[in-house]
Amino acid sequence: MHTWKGRRAASVLSSRCSSRHSGYTARILAATANSADSAYRLSMPTHPAGMSCASAVANDASPPAQIPLPRQLLVTPDIASRTQIAMFASQLAQALARGTRLVQLRNRSLDADGYRALAESALALTHAAGAQLILNPPHDVVDLWLDAMNGVHAGTMPQADGWHLTSARLMACHERPAGWKLVSAACHDAAQLAHATRLGLDFVTLSPVLATATHPDATPLGWPAFTAFAAQTSLPVFALGGMRADMLTSARHAGAYGIAAIRAFWPSV
């Protein structure tokens, strides 16, 4: 069974962030730095059939990952209420049964208790399947947990395999966040990619590559621009935005390590 770890007042902050997000990751991750590896360090999962890192793709231009990573990243769809968690869990279980081994738990609608309940459910499912879960909670929930780390709120935060930085919080950090096995970030331009590279993150998403229903007003990069950007970093880059499951090979030819998507990997109701 998975547990929730509370804050550790004596933890040493090994990461610093600037601006209004100063201490964002440091304060969160210092609370778990002493326990993250021992509590949730898993052996890296084997990849689904056809997705092995060892299987070569002709003219693959993507840089290798520092640690083994699946080639497919599932970004979860948003749910607005805790009453939807049971249905969400059922669909996540289906995705895991189909071979998903890397999940970003993205949500922008739940409160802290709701996201914690969602994460607890997702942790049980992903770890039982040998998959890894990366947290990407609502912005106000992150701020609330920051206050909790400072003793303003008597709460705890969920602990998982990794943490995903939004592009804004990425640019506010001076060092790689400590205490997580995996740290990823959302990138949309060359400056963000360069900063993620300097921090030594484990991987990034670069978006939007193609037109996407989730961000209809965003201007797509297109594959030529994606290739040019991806060539500027040594980090594994997941192509995000308009991806389909059958685009993996072409994405790797274009310099992607893998592809990230919601609709392509999430089972329909």
CATH second-level architecture of 161-269? Alpha-Beta Barrel (3.20)
For residues 26 and 173, give the distance between their C-alpha atoms in angstroms, rounded to a whole number: 9
State the Cα angle at 255 between 254 and 259, rounded to 5°.
85
Quickly state the pLDDT bin for 156 (edges 50, 70, 90): low
User: Contact, 142 vs 114, CB < 8 A?
Assistant: no
Residue 105 has pLDDT above 60, yes or no: yes
User: Contact, 162 vs 134, CB < 8 A?
Assistant: yes
pTM of the model: 0.76
Per-residue pLDDT, averaged over 236-258, amounts to: 98
Q: Check residue 103 and give its pLDDT.
A: 99
Per-residue pLDDT, averaged over 221-227, amounts to: 98
Inter-axis angle of helices 85-97 and 112-128, nearest 10: 30
20 versus 162: the higher-pLDDT residue is 162
Q: What element of type H or E holds 133?
A: strand 132-136
Q: Check residue 150 and give its pLDDT.
A: 53
28-80 confidence digits (pLDDT tens) = 334 333 333 333 332 233 333 333 333 334 456 677 777 789 999 999 999 99
For residues 252 and 117, give the distance between their C-alpha atoms in angstroms, rounded to a whole number: 36
Instruction: Name, in order, each residue with C-beta under 8 angstroms of 139's C-beta and a sequence gap of 6 or more.
Output: 108, 166
Three-class DSSP category at 105: strand
Q: CB 217: neighbour CB atoms within 10 A?
A: 4
Smallest CA-to-CA distance from 131 within 169, 99, 156, 102 is with: 102
For residues 127 and 124, give the distance between their C-alpha atoms in angstroms, rounded to a whole number: 6
Q: What element of type H or E holds 134?
A: strand 132-136
Q: Check residue 212 and give its pLDDT.
A: 87
Instruction: Name, in order, each residue with C-beta under 8 angstroms of 227's C-beta and a sequence gap of 6 or more.
Output: 61, 254, 255
- DSSP annotation string for 54-95: TS--TT--PPPPSS---SEEEEPPP--SGGGHHHHHHHHHHH
Q: Check residue 177 and give its pLDDT.
A: 84
Cα end-to-end span (Å), the chain: 28
**Domain locations in the chain?**
73-158, 161-269
For residues 82 and 67, give the distance between their C-alpha atoms in angstroms, rounded to a whole number: 34
200-216 confidence digits (pLDDT tens) = 999 999 999 999 888 88
Query: What percent of the chain is modeled with pLDDT above 90?
Result: 61
Phi and psi dihedrals of 154, rounded to 5? -90, 80
Q: Check residue 17 and give its pLDDT.
A: 52
